[in-house]
Amino acid sequence: MTLGGFLILLVIAAICGAIGQALAGFSRPGCLFTTLIGFLGAWAGLLIADVFDLPEFFPVSIEGRTFPVVWSIIGAALVSLIASLILSPRRT
């Protein structure tokens, strides 16, 4: 994978992570955290899709590698919900 393809992949993951965080209602500042949520969401979304034998919706192909946009957004929302439970301050 070339540097340009990797940068495009990072931008797509950041957008998917931001959409997933917005759907979950959890927001941490920082592009790096949002991109990480996007990549973890893609992994979690694909895992869920494989377990339930669901098709890929709207995959984006970058230099021969596919990135599942819809599953990434769904997975990012789930990862954001889990992160909000772990990282939010406890109120008593």
Q: What is the pLDDT of residue 6?
A: 83
pLDDT in tens for each of the 92 residues of the chain?
Answer: 788 888 888 888 888 888 888 888 877 677 787 778 877 887 888 788 888 888 887 888 888 887 788 888 888 889 888 888 887 776 65
Burial label for 8, CB within 10 Å (0-12, 13-18, 19+), is middle
Predicted TM-score (pTM) of the model is 0.80
The full set of domain ranges for the chain reads 3-87
Is residue 16 within 8 Å of residue 38, measured between CB atoms? yes
Q: Alpha-carbon distance 65 to 59, whole Å?
A: 10
